[in-house]
């Protein structure tokens, strides 16, 4: 059988993908509203409102329940997986994002201090006053990694809603 046909004829994969896509599209739209610029990274990036990870695993879990029943071992497994993914999104990945913010701030501060010292030293070596202008490009760590509980809840609700509304075939 054609692998593409298998993928598009699998209800659980379809609702999971649709929920993920809807969440990513909503993230892109919500990022567009304040900036009036399309930020394409939001279509594939992690973090933000709503959680696409939560939407995907909740849609898969509801899809499995609709196809195989709430008493099936597959539903139990998908529900456990959904819980782990959502806990991780709020815990470990969110903490990593917060650490990235702190590290980015430290790197910027250190670069500014060293740049300022270098400029002052160079100016003093030339017999000039120290320059006031500072700055330059800074490589930053990705800060959008995890989710707030509200972002996870909204993603979960989106996934459940999509799987509940799409009829099983």
CA atoms 99, 100, 101, 107: torsion sign: positive
Residues 40 and 60 in one domain: yes
Q: What is the pLDDT along the chain (169 residues), one digit of tens a residue?
A: 687 787 778 999 999 999 999 999 999 999 898 889 888 878 887 778 899 999 999 999 999 999 999 999 999 999 999 999 998 888 766 666 667 667 667 777 777 777 777 777 777 777 776 555 444 455 555 555 567 888 999 999 999 999 999 998 7
Q: Which domain holds residue 101?
A: 92-145
Residues 126 and 115 in one domain: yes
Residues 76 and 41 in one domain: yes
Residues 41 and 52 in one domain: yes
pLDDT at 11: 95
Are 68 and 110 within 8 A, CB to CB? no
Residues 13 and 77 in one domain: yes
pLDDT at 58: 97
30, 85, 125, 135 from 146: Cα distances, Å: 17, 11, 47, 29
Q: What is the pLDDT of residues 30-60, one digit of tens each?
A: 989 888 988 887 888 777 889 999 999 999 9
The C-alpha atoms of residue 51 and residue 148 are separated, in whole angstroms, by 9
Tokens read off for 125: 């070596």
Residues 6 and 83 in one domain: yes
Residues 56 and 10 in one domain: yes
Count of structural domains, the chain = 2
Residues 25 and 57 in one domain: yes
- Residue 20 burial (CB < 10 Å; 0-12/13-18/19+)? buried
Residues 154 and 129 in one domain: no
Statement: the pTM of the whole predicted model exceeds 0.95: no
Tokens read off for 13: 């994969």
Residues 84 and 166 in one domain: yes
35, 104, 115, 142, 147 from 29: Cα distances, Å: 10, 26, 38, 20, 17
Residues 132 and 164 in one domain: no
Tokens read off for 152: 């996870």
Residues 4 and 87 in one domain: yes
């Amino acid at each position: 059988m054609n692998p593409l046909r298998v993928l598009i004829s699998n209800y659980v994969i379809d609702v999971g993908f649709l929920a993920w896509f809807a969440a990513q599209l909503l993230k892109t739209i919500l990022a567009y509203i304040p900036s009036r610029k399309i930020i394409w990274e939001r279509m594939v990036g992690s973090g933000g409102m709503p959680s696409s990870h939560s939407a995907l695993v909740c849609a898969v879990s509801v899809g499995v329940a609709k196809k195989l029943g709430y008493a099936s071992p597959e539903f139990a497994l998908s529900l456990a997986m959904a819980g782990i993914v959502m806990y991780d999104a709020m815990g470990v990945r969110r903490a990593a994002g917060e650490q990235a913010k702190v590290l980015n701030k430290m790197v910027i501060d250190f670069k500014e201090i060293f740049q300022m010292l270098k400029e002052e030293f160079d100016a003093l070596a030339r017999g000039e006053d120290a320059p006031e202008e500072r700055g330059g490009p800074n490589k930053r760590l990705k800060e959008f990694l995890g989710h707030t509980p509200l972002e996870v809840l909204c993603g979960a609700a989106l996934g459940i809603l999509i799987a509940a509304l799409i009829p099983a075939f």
